[in-house]
Amino acid sequence: MFAILSFTKDYYNHAFLEMLQNIPDMTWTPTIPERFKGMSQGDVYAHFMPLNVYKSVQTEQQESVEGNAPITFSWLDYIKQCMTVREQGKCGSCWAFSAVGSFSDNRCIKSYTEPHTVYSEQYMVSCDKTSLGCSGGYISKDVVFLKNTGVPTEKCVSYKSGKTNVTGSCPTKCDDGSALTTVKSKSYRSVCSSENSIKNAIYIGTIQTALTVYDDFMYYKSGIYQHKSGAQIGGHGVIFVGYGEQNGVKYWDVRNSWGTGWGEKGYFRIIRGQNECNIEHECYLIEV
């Protein structure tokens, strides 16, 4: 596991916040988010894939997605009803939320599920034995699980680990005792070979990705995030939903799994085109 100074003291530091607020030419606004106020370091770090897990990920061979994606694009501007901000709670299940979230998005985008159907992150957390449940997972394994096993709907198997921080046993029936059936993806493509490849892939559907989280990311409120200060905390699975440019600064639109009260209504923007925090290192288009 990763090293920390104290697992029990309050994570947030007002001196660190003031330092961030005084950095010139910042493209983002720092704060202490309500969602994390009063949490200990242990509580905060539990949200992420431990560094030893995250850094052990073996990247699949990447392909270049060809196409003519526009200069700016976001699914939030086109099919916002297909985008649902979820809440992972205190379980380190971001890996499942990014995989199942993108799968749910793309089925909705393809009009397989109208209105938007949310699929079960809990089923992946409890049943994907190649990952570590609430202790983290591998996005390269998630896409295989979706293709080979699939997931039921959230209505069938609801999310529980966010309250308990317990991975739980793999269910064989829906919560109400009815028969459990899963829906599988058709395939997946590793698309982080270049900025243009990612843009072209996003023009097809939302993309599962991950980033290295540093201390300063935990102070994000709004704007275009760029790492400025602080140590690495862990890896975090998220979803590319679009891209754009503001005042000459290129960015990715990204959906998080910390509820709508965090960041920009559950989303954040991050510098595009320079593999900021490794967010352009490994990502997957989940084909439905």
What is the three-class DSSP state of 190?
strand
User: Is residue 202 predicted with pLDDT exceeding 70?
Assistant: yes
pLDDT confidence bin for 3, thresholds 50/70/90? very low
pLDDT of residue 55: 59
pLDDT confidence bin for 122, thresholds 50/70/90? very high
What's the whole-number mean pLDDT along residues 212-231?
Answer: 98
Cβ contact 108:114 at 8 Å: yes
**139-148 vs 94-109: helix axis angle to the nearest 10?**
50
User: Is residue 5 predicted with pLDDT exceeding 50?
Assistant: no
pLDDT of residue 59: 64
Cα(277)–Cα(270) distance, integer angstroms: 9
Look at residues 91, 112, 76 and name the one whose alpha carbon lies nearest to residue 242: 76
pLDDT of residue 7: 52
Catalytic residues: 94, 236, 256
What's the whole-number mean pLDDT along residues 68-89?
Answer: 95
pLDDT of residue 2: 28
Tell me the CATH number for domain 28-287.
Answer: 3.90.70.10
User: Is residue 114 predicted with pLDDT exceeding 90?
Assistant: no
pLDDT of residue 61: 83
pLDDT confidence bin for 69, thresholds 50/70/90? very high
Cα angle vertex 94, ends 175, 69, to 5°? 110
pLDDT confidence bin for 53, thresholds 50/70/90? low
Which residues on neighbouring strands pair with residue 173, listed in sequence order? Answer: 179
What's the whole-number mean pLDDT along residues 152-163?
Answer: 98
pTM of the model: 0.95
